[in-house]
Structure 1
Amino acid sequence: MFYETNKMSTAKFAVKITKFQNDFLIWSASDSRVVREEFRIVGTLTGCLPRAPHQNTHLGLPLQLCKEEVRLLIDKGFAELVETVYEDANDTTRNEFKQREQESYERQIDLFKEDRKVELKRCLPKIIEGKKAKRNKLLDERKKKGEDIPDSEYEAEIELRVEDIAIPDIEKRHMMVQTPLECATKKTTYKPVDWDFPHTDSEKLRYAVFRDLWERGHFITSGLKFGGDFLSYPGDPSRFHSFFIVVCRPYREPLCAGDIVTMGRLGTSVKKTVVLCSLDDAGRICYTSLQWTGIS
């Protein structure tokens, strides 16, 4: 798969961002890798892992993007925003799906019986001992009723082979199924989406700052956990700590001393520099950094 980093038609890129209500998702593992490695877009993994669904420490697909990440990818020509449309499949497609499902079920029966035979072979001595104990118990009950039971019946060997043990088929409702990322019985198509973002002055400021930092080579993620709009990293967040807490403020908005002290103390406590970002009257981005000196 070939990706270029200069602006071009989105038709040349395979990255599809699916809009679902107010969320923006990438379902493809290869696309998730590409947007991170090639385009420095991190996003947030939000899905559970198929083999570990009852935990939230390690997450998987889909990859959720913020609005600024989506707009940047679209503006740069790296991706397109689409909605998923499901069309009714024809009978041939549905029959092929049912046939593959039946073949998988039959194969799982064979594998289940093979595993069961191995387990029975390992446990065969215990099974024989259990049958002997059960037989002797029945003989004891008959003996108590006055029947004449020779000792030879107690001492008789029980011959049992794995092949003689009936192994039932697994029920179809218990078969393992593959979880598809798309509807397997319907035809999937994508419809381009018209999206109005950024719209408000606040959104325009955030996107302008996000895009400028990205064009300077930074990796950018959400800064909510540190009280800012974004966190800026010098490299991939999996390998580097963030350097800057990015706070977007309108150019003419008053900023009291208490807010400055609060942001300065916050940045110092987490060993990061707070950067105030604004758009001046000419539309240029102004950066002001805050660093706590420790002087009272």
Structure 2
Amino acid sequence: MAQTLVTEPFPISRIANRYLIFDVNIISHIRREHNICGVLIGTIPNLSQQNVFLGIPMQLMPEETRLLVEHGHAYIVEDADAHKTGFMEMSREDRLAFLRQMDKQGVEMALDAKRRAADKQEKVLKEKGLERKIQEKNLRRTDITPNPATGETSVGPSDEKSLSDSMPPSPTVGSARGQKVAPYFITPTTSHPPLPTPPLSPAAELPKVPHTYPLFRHLQSKGYFSTPGLRFGCHYTAYPGDPLRFHSHFLATGLDWDEEFELLDIVGGGRLGTGVKKAYLIGGEDPEAKASGKEDGSDPVRAFSIEWAGL
């Protein structure tokens, strides 16, 4: 499947102080290009009574959103205001054009699904050595589908119009093989189109992030994928590559530079990390190094990994 080009910066919807992405193409783009995984929170329509496999929208952590905005890859959009303004300004012609586009897309998807099902059936029959049944089906399709080369009369535009006027409307459409299929009903997952993409606001406020953000940014700069670490009692779970391909390497906890901590917390984190075949990582941002790092470009974050080596 060909990759759809995503134009940056792209909008991130803010709804009730949550940062959401509804476009599948943007979701795959930020995972592939920016090491951002997010968390899918949407219910799958045909499997609505389970929460093991979820779909769009994707919710981003404030840290992930802040990173994308700071680097100029995305911008924040107040979703409720954008929808209210967009629908108020939309004309009736634009709405009808969008509905016709959805109907056309539903017909194309239905025909494509019917075509793929027929091809799959033919493949199974060939594997079972039942080529004769395939030939019989092809003959029946030839009898059903008119062939202009044989001199059969085709239905002209005027005949089609008179025929449609005398018959009630049908929800089915004809396929290329002479069969009728019901068009799919398309439910768009995004509002763009029909609404225009919200413009970039230079005065938009950056997302508020916790004190652990410097460690998250540090791990991202090193090429790590970071996911929420609640499962292991830490702030982030750091992966050396895509989580679908790699196991995590670190249980990361962010601290302030002068924050006090219990030694038993370090021991417990190290034992937990070693028990699940990971290392426990703590890190924070040095304020003095941050002030001097603006000039020389050095990273003000220092991190330490801890392993439990019980003998």
The DSSP-based 3-state class of the residue aligned with 1:217 is coil
Which residue pairs with 1:87 in the alignment? Answer: 87
TM-fit CA distance, 1:104: 9.9
Once the two structures are TM-superposed, the CA of residue 249 in structure 1 deviates from its matched residue by 1.4
Q: Deviations over 1:51-95 (max 9, x none)?
A: 333322211111111111111112222222223413232222344
Distance 2:106 2:220 in 1: 50
Asked if 1:34 is matched to 2:29, the reply is: yes
Aligned to 1:146: none
Alignment correspondent of 1:180: 188
User: Residue 242 and residue 96 in structure 1: after superposition, are their counterparts in 2 closer, same or farther (change >3 A)?
Assistant: same
Runs of 4+ displaced beyond 6 Å? 98-107
Match of 1:239 among 245, 251, 256: 245
Given the superposition, is the C-alpha separation of residues 14 and 198 from structure 1 closer, same or farther in structure 2, using an over 3 Å criterion? Answer: closer
Distance 1:256 1:101, change over 3 A: closer
Does the C-alpha gap of structure 1 residues 16 and 186 become closer, same or farther in structure 2, counting only changes over 3 Å?
Answer: closer
Change (3 A) 1:101 1:242: closer
Deviation at 1:195, TM superposition (A): 2.2
Amino acid at match of 2:78: E
Correspondences of 1:164-175 after superposition (within 5 Å) = none
8 Å contact kept, 1:247–1:276: yes
Alignment partner for residue 45 of structure 1, among 40, 46, 49? 40
Query: Amino acid of the residue matched to residue 196 of structure 1?
Result: L
Q: Which runs of 5+ in 1 are unaligned?
A: 4-11, 108-168
Q: Structure 1 CA distance, aligned partners of 2:105 and 2:221?
A: 49
2:280 match: 274
Structure 1 position 38, deviation (Å): 1.3
Question: 1:251 maps to what in 2?
Answer: 257
State the partner residue of 2:150. Answer: none
Which structure has the greater CA radius of gyration? 1
Change (3 A) 1:274 1:93: same
Q: 1:188 to 1:262 in 2, by over 3 A?
A: same
The amino acid that maps onto 1:81 is I
The verdict on how the C-alpha distance between 1:184 and 1:72 changes in structure 2, with shifts beyond 3 A counting, is closer
- After TM superposition, the structure 1 stretch with the greater mean CA deviation from structure 2, 236-245 or 188-197, is 188-197
CA contact (8 A) 1:97 1:184 kept: no
Check the 8 A contact 2:240/2:248 in 1, yes or no: yes
8 Å CA contact 1:49, 1:59 repeated in 2 = yes
Contact kept in structure 2, 1:93 and 1:185, CA below 8 Å: no
Query: For 2:92 and 2:260, how far apart are their aligned partners in 1?
Result: 66
CA shift in 2, pair 1:198/1:182, >3 Å: closer
Q: Aligned-pair distance for 1:220?
A: 1.0
Give yes or no for contact 2:107–2:184 (8 Å, CA) kept in 1: no
Q: Is the 8 A contact 2:22 2:190 kept in 1?
A: no
- Pair 1:97–1:256, CA change in 2 (3 A): closer
**What does 1:89-108 align with in structure 2 at a 5 Å threshold?**
89-96=90-97
Local SS of the residue matching 2:271 = helix
Per the alignment, residue 291 of structure 1 pairs with 307
TM-align CA RMSD: 3.4
Q: CA deviation at 1:189?
A: 4.4
Indicate whether 1:219 and 2:214 are aligned: no
| Number of equivalent positions | 223
Deviations 1:226-247 (A, max 9, x none): 1111111011001111000001
User: Residues 17 and 272 from structure 1, CA distance in 2 versus in 1: closer, same or farther, beyond 3 angstroms?
Assistant: same
Within 5 Å, which residues of 2 pair with 1:93-172?
Answer: 93-96=94-97
Give the Cα–Cα distance (whole angstroms) in 2 for the partners of residues 178 and 2 of structure 1: 22
Distance 1:275 1:217 in 2: 16
Instruction: Name the TM-score, length of structure 1 as normaliser.
Output: 0.64
Match of 2:119 in 1: none
Name the CA distance, whole Å, in 1 between partners of 2:103 and 2:305. 64
* Partner AA of 2:12 in structure 1: I
CA distance in 2, matches of 1:278, 1:97: 50
Cα drift, residue 253 of structure 1: 2.0
Structure-2-length-normalised TM-score: 0.61
CA distance in 2, matches of 1:270, 1:192: 44
For 1:178, give the aligned amino acid: I
Q: Contact conserved, 1:267 with 1:274, CA < 8 A, in 2?
A: yes
**Structure 1 residue 219: deviation in Å?**
1.0
Structure 2 portions without partners, runs of 5+: 109-169, 172-182, 291-299
User: Equivalent residue of 1:293, what SS?
Assistant: coil
CA distance in 1, matches of 2:72, 2:207: 16
Per the TM alignment, residue 2 of structure 1 is displaced from its structure 2 partner at its CA by 5.4
